[in-house]
Amino acid sequence: MPKLMDYMISPYPIRIIDPKVEPSRLRLKSIRIGQAGHLPGRTLFRSGAVFEQWAFVYIVSGSGTYMENGGQEQQVREGSLFFFRPGCSYSFGPPPGGYWDEYYVNFSGSRVTEWLEAGMIAGGEVTRGDKAEGLDASFEQILEFMAGGVPGDADRAALLLEEMLLECSLQLQGSNRLWQQGAMPLIREALNACIYEKPDLQRLAEGLHLSMSTLRRTVRRSSGYPLHEYIHRLKMAEAKHLLLNTSLQVQEIAGMLHYRDSFYFSRLFKKYMGLSPQTCRNHL
């Protein structure tokens, strides 16, 4: 496999493989691997980098930091995993005089949405990949697959990437399950406290010492609902309480719960409660 020297990145030979297969020749249309690489002994630190595709990054050794969209600076150590999301800004890399050994794979396609919903990928958070055995060997296999320019091998690389992401997410889910069970009551309490407001979710997450991706993932795994739907359901439960126990008009209740459009509020209420606000008041 070809290696090249780039002293701006590392004092050692690096490998960067760009796709050599036309998308029309791939059998797997829903996911496509872009550039893949191995940067041993990386010394380059990047600030404000923006990427066009998702990227999955694994740090084999060394240390440094990672920051998404100017948020909290997170420590990166041996065995760390993290993602880059398209359109976000990242500052990352080893400190002056330091290094890290990095593998990465860029990817895109409609299947990314499924991976997001399944919690297999998430931005903004550094996690640990120590328990997912053979990650470096899997990255090496992807590099081999992509180097030849064979359509079937490019499809194999995409399947191997999905397998890696699934394994890592299962390991992370197992190690975090008890923590997540303990976090959900705190999340529910924080969301309940801002039912009569338009919640600032980023601020709420920071107050709980969570990233946004962890907040979304914890709510979905614990409740079965995406975060935005979970918030709507909390608000509709409060609306039902107000309808049954006060004389407030539907429009007043909608405004109190920060729904400017009372018709939209009524549609949501019927969707989640199974009947209209007026029917709820008149027949319960």
DSSP code string of 25-41: G-S--S-EEEEEEEEEE
Q: Give the pLDDT confidence score for residue 178 in this predicted structure.
A: 40
Please report, rounded to a whole number, the percentage of residues in the chain having pLDDT higher than 90: 62
Q: What angle do CA 229, 254, 193 make, to 5 degrees?
A: 60
Q: What is the pLDDT of residues 65-106, one digit of tens each?
A: 999 999 889 999 999 999 999 999 999 999 999 999 999 999
- What is the residue whose two structure tokens read 């999955």? 56
Amino acid at 73: E
93 or 171, greater pLDDT: 93
The pLDDT tens digits of the residues spanning 215-228 come to 888 888 778 889 99
Short-list 65, 74, 68, CA closest to 89: 68
The pLDDT score that the predictor gives to residue 284 is 57
Is the backbone of residue 71 left (phi > 0), alpha (psi -120 to 50) or beta?
beta
- 63 pLDDT above the threshold of 90: yes
What's the rounded Cα separation, in Å, for the pair 219 and 202?
14
Q: Which helix (H) or strand (E) holds 67?
A: strand 64-68
Per DSSP, helices labelled H in the chain are: 111-117, 135-147, 151-192, 201-207, 212-223, 227-245, 250-256, 262-273, 277-283
Q: Give the model's pLDDT for residue 16.
A: 95
pLDDT one-digit tens code per residue, 176-202: 544 445 678 888 889 999 999 988 998
**pLDDT above 80: residue 171:** no
Write down the pLDDT at residue 60: 94
Containing H/E element for 57? strand 54-62
Does residue 104 or residue 115 have the better pLDDT? 104
pLDDT at 119 over 90: no
Whether this model's pTM surpasses 0.85: no
What whole-number distance in Å separates Cα of residue 247 and Cα of residue 239?
A: 12
Separation in Å, CA 35 to CA 6, 137, 175: 17, 17, 30
Q: Go through the domains of the chain in sequence order and give each one's CATH number.
A: 4-175 (2.60.120.280), 229-283 (1.10.10.60)
Of the two residues 115 and 20, the one the predictor is more confident about is 115
pLDDT digits (tens, 9 = 90+) for 234-274: 999 999 999 999 999 999 999 999 999 999 999 999 999 98
**Cα separation, 15 vs 228, whole angstroms:** 42
Q: For residue 279, what are the CA distances in angstroms to 243, 258, 269?
A: 10, 22, 11
